Amino acid sequence: MYKLIDGKEISKSIRSELSNKISLLKKAVGLAVVLVGNNSASQVYVKNKIKACEEVGIKSFAHYLPENTSQTELENLLKKLADDETVHGILVQLPLPKHISEDALRLIPHEKDVDGFSAENVGSLCLKQKGTVPCTPYGIMKMLEYENIDICGKNAVVVGRSNIVGKPIAMLLLNSDATVTVCHSKTKNLKDICKSADILIVAIGKAKFIKSDMVKDGAVVIDVGMNRDESGKLCGDVDFESVKDKCSHITPVPGGVGPMTITMLMYNTYVSAKRSLK
Ligand code: GUN
């Protein structure tokens, strides 16, 4: 029998604790959320982030910029937000339109980089030093912690090598003493590598890609994907129905990693505000 890792429930408990902590701060906590363009998935993510801010008592400053925004216009906004003392966290929703370079994100001071994407924060993670941990990988680690899943000495396989999920989760697992393998589109023998995983993390954006013959009996499976299947229904990168009975633990989509990402964004923003009050 598998255990479902309920990201909504875990989020609820973290958010309620967080909401108490935020109410005890002497100043309002502020998060600026910047969305450039009309990507419909991004619009939903941003809406959910703003809703979560309301829920935990963070003041959100939403900036919706049109698709034809120039690099300079985005950079000017980021400079303004960097100097704004009421803003403790700045989030630019990715992906940006193709004509805008992610170099713009360098204008976010690392203390306000609540996504943990800056070179400073990435470096801290690699060096196992204090810093802001990217929200999705942080949320995954929290889920493993809540479920008392042992990481030390385990074979962890990460499928996907993105800067947002694959690379940082690999580093976090390594920092927790797992033996980590990172797979990607050019990996040979993916099936056998996945099958060696005690902990399998999948973040590739391909609907139902991981099938039961790629999963070891008793594995912990974390599905970061958010896709639509043939009939338009939300689904992950893991073929849940075929894989679930092989797992000791598995995350659902929706209701797994997604809510945890937003919860850890709220947490990172709180930490950023608290630090600024010192
Ligand atoms: N796009 C997909 N995931 C994320 C995330 O965690 N943060 C930001 N800023 N953009 C994203």
Question: For residue range 71-101, what is the model confidence (pLDDT) as tens digits?
Answer: 999 999 999 999 999 999 999 999 999 999 9
From CA 96, how far away is CA 32, in angstroms rounded?
Answer: 16
Using CA positions, which residue lies closest to atom 9 of ligand 1? 93
Averaged pLDDT for residues 124-142: 98
What is the value of pTM for the model shown? 0.98
Q: For the chain, give the percent of residues with pLDDT over 70.
A: 100
Q: Is the confidence at residue 149, as pLDDT, over 80?
A: yes
Is 129 labeled as catalytic in the residue annotation?
no
Q: What is the pLDDT of residues 238-271, one digit of tens each?
A: 999 999 999 999 999 999 999 999 999 999 999 9
In 17-154, where do the E strands start and end?
A: 29-36, 58-65, 89-92
Q: Whose CA is nearest to atom 2 of ligand 1?
A: 94
End-to-end CA distance of the chain: 48
Q: Name the residue of 105, 108, 115, 257 whose CB sits within 8 Å of the most ligand 1 atoms, as the mutation to test its pocket.
A: 115
Mean pLDDT of 114-120: 98
pLDDT at position 278 is: 75
% of the chain residues with pLDDT over 90: 99
Confidence tier at 164 by pLDDT (50, 70, 90): very high
Q: How confident is the model at residue 153 (pLDDT cuts 50, 70, 90)?
A: very high
Given 49, 154, 167, 208, which residue is catalytic? 49
232 burial level (CB within 10 Å; 0-12, 13-18, 19+)? exposed
- Asked if 213 and 193 count as a contact pair (C-beta separation under 8 A), the reply is no
Rounded CA-CA distance 171/260 in Å is: 18
Q: Is the pLDDT of residue 163 over 80?
A: yes
> Does residue 229 register a pLDDT over 80?
yes
In this structure, which residue's CA is closest to atom 1 in ligand 1?
Answer: 94
